Amino acid sequence: MPSAKEKVVAYFKSDKKSAAEKKLVFKLDFFILTFCCMAYFMNYLDRQNLTQAYVSGMKEDLNFKGNQLTVINTIYAVGYLLGIVPNNAMVTYFRPGRFFPFMMTTWACITMTTASAQKPQHIMAIRFFQGFFESCTFAGTHYILGSWYTEGELGKRSGLFTASGLAGGIFGGLLQAAIYRSMNGLAGLAGWRWLFIIDGLITLPVAAYGYFFFPDTPRQTTAMYFTQEEKELAMARVPEKPRQPILTKTFVQRVATSPYFYSFIVLWTITNCIEQQSTSSLLQLWMKYNKDHKYSVYELNNWPTGVQAVGITSTLLWATGTDIFGGRWLANYYLAFTAIVSATIILIPGTPTAGIFGAYYWAGSIYACQATSFAWANDVMKLEDHAFRAVIIGFMNFGGNTFNAFWPLIFFSVDQAPYFTRGMYCMIVIGTLLAIWTTLIVLYFRRMNKRKQLLVIDAPEGSEEGSVVVLEESVGDKKV
């Protein structure tokens, strides 16, 4: 059995791959992964810019009252929620190389219209449609990655994809700070308005890149940079079952009765709630509403980027580590521990400023759940047909974002700033639930794996003598 060091070396050197497969994977990374990462970078940039604009003058210019910022985020979540499943299903019917660029172009134009808003209600309407069109990116990309990459490659790519979104959050903060310093008042527009215009403009070239170079799925691709041999190798690496019609009673029953449906929807719902510790811009709002210290616009936009920086590091470490050693689910115990302890630190009366910053920065490592959870789901359903896998992943994302529609209003509303006491107590409970649910589904998948590991099949009719064929069916992660 190879040692841990040997596994790491083999993973990065790709010793088990042939020269042809290494060349194929390089092309996949260059054309698929780059587009997916740039798309999610822009997606996250457009998501995060609202809070950055809020703390950079939009609150005062548009006369925000009470928890209107939280209401806007909830409306965005509703639009996102309504788009997840249909958009993810459409990826299996339309060419992804046309579908994704169209959606990106649309949301880029919607982002730019935010610069014309004159009151919070205008932004509420804009963000609803922006959420709908942006909803294709996250789950759709995980479906595409699962269509091209093998189990041993998927975690790192999922991690890079998640990290690219977090990098968009970092860039957004730095961009807003730079715009505020250099463009505030230019052409009579406030700096926060320029942020939305620039965000939309820089999204358009990425959409154009996807239109010309994104290769769709292995069976659909007509990309000029793949040889016929490489297309056949891609299909052999990740075998695809014939596409099944999804608007049938049989398909709906199959999805609704699948253990994957309930296991991963509940899992992602819990982890999505835990992720609120870092995704709801709580540190930025803590700084904005802190009564003991007045932070500048530059500080409000730059200092919270440390949350995303920690998230990138954690995501890449867990994604790569679980590629090498297996056990995607192990990350959930770390995430649960992080959520519980960081929330406890924030709740303790008299915690110094450094402690608050440290707790929020550490909570940024919870972002790793995006890569590990969806890579785990893709691993488990690798032998399922693409339509089934796409719908399950879509519902998985749907379940998590259902809570986004009301969770922040209850536990992380702006009028609860700066300490969000109710939300922190909830975070302790949710962290405990994550550890419990992870244990339950790991045990269930192990039990299911034992039942399916040996499948006895009668010899084909006409054979000279009876025989049995022993098949191994991979159910779950390497360690499950």
Give 91-104 as a DSSP string: TTTS-HHHHHHHHH
pLDDT at 400: 83
- Which residue's entry shows tokens 């449906």? 261
**By C-alpha distance, which of 46, 50, 132, 73 is closest to 408?**
73
pLDDT tens digits, one per residue of 425-446: 999 999 999 999 999 999 998 8
Stretches in the chain below the pLDDT threshold 70: 11-15, 240-247, 452-480
pLDDT at 243: 60
User: Is residue 403 within 8 Å of residue 272, measured between CB atoms?
Assistant: yes
pLDDT at 455: 41
pLDDT at 117: 95
3-state helix, strand, coil in the chain (%, to 5): 75, 0, 25
User: Is residue 477 within 8 Å of residue 376, measured between CB atoms?
Assistant: yes
Vertex 171 angle, CA 165 and 176, to 5°: 130
pLDDT at 112: 95
d(CA 436, CA 321): 22
d(CA 341, CA 350): 16
Residue type, 221: T
Residue 466 structure tokens: 């009876």
d(CA 322, CA 332): 12
pLDDT at 247: 67
